Amino acid sequence: MDAVKPVHELTPRDLPFVELNARYYDDPAHQGYVRALPTRVPATSVVGRTLRVAIVGSGPAACYAAENLLTRTDSDVEVNIFERLPTPWGLVRFGVAPDHPDTKSVSRSFERLSSLGATFYFGVEVGRDVSVDELTAHHHAVVYAVGAANSRRLDIPGSDLTGVHSAQEFVAWYNGHPDFVDREFDLSAERAIVIGNGNVALDVARILGSSLARLAETDIADHTLAALASSNIREVVVLARRGPADAAYTLSEFIALRDTSGIRLRVEDRDFAIGPEVRSAIAATHSAVEVAKLEASEQLMHAGAYGGNSVTLRYLTNPVALLGDQQVSGIRVECNEADVGPGGDVFIRPTGLTEDIDCGLVFYAIGYAGSPIAGLPFDGDRMVIPNDEGRVREALSGKAVSGTYVTGWIKRGPTGVIGSNKACAQETVNSLISDYQAGVLPEPALPSEAVPTLVERATPHAFGYEGWQAIDRHERARGKRANRPRRKLVRLDDLTATALTYRHPSVPR
Q: What DSSP element (H or E) covers 330?
A: strand 330-340
Backbone angles phi, psi at 52, to 5 degrees: -110, 120
**Residues forming a β-bridge with 357:** 331
Long-range CB contacts (< 8 A, 24+ apart) of 353-356?
354/320, 356/323, 356/330, 356/331, 356/332
HSE-CB of 212 using CA atoms within 13 angstroms? 12
Is 198 annotated as ligand-binding? yes
Number of C-beta neighbours around residue 380 at 10 A: 10
Is 83 annotated as ligand-binding? yes
3-state secondary structure of 364: strand
Is 126 annotated as ligand-binding? yes
Is 78 annotated as ligand-binding? no
Separation of alpha carbons 465 and 122, rounded Å: 8
Is 199 annotated as ligand-binding? yes
Q: Where does 99-233 have alpha helices with state H?
A: 101-104, 107-110, 113-116, 132-137, 167-174, 199-209, 212-215, 222-228
Is 418 annotated as ligand-binding? yes
Q: Where are the beta strands (DSSP E) in 60-169?
A: 77-83, 119-122, 141-144, 150-151, 164-166
Single-letter residue type at 148: A
- CB-based contacts of 456, cutoff 8 Å, min separation 6: 462, 507, 508
Q: Contact, 177 vs 89, CB < 8 A?
A: no
Is 235 annotated as ligand-binding? no
Cα angle: 262, vertex 417, 87; to 5 degrees: 85
Cβ-in-10-Å burial (0-12, 13-18, 19+) of 230 comes to: exposed
The strand pair at 400-406 and 391-393 is best described as antiparallel
Separation of alpha carbons 188 and 230, rounded Å: 8
Is 241 annotated as ligand-binding? yes
Separation of alpha carbons 374 and 385, rounded Å: 12
Is 466 annotated as ligand-binding? no
Q: Contact, 56 vs 126, CB < 8 A?
A: yes
Number of C-beta neighbours around residue 143 at 10 A: 30
Separation of alpha carbons 300 and 298, rounded Å: 5
Q: Contact, 50 vs 34, CB < 8 A?
A: no
Separation of alpha carbons 470 and 495, rounded Å: 9
Annotated binding-site residue numbers: 61, 83, 91, 126, 197-200, 241-242, 253, 409, 416-418
Known binding residues for FAD are 61, 83, 91, 126, 409, 416-418
The annotation places the binding site for NADP(+) at 197-200, 241-242, 253, 416
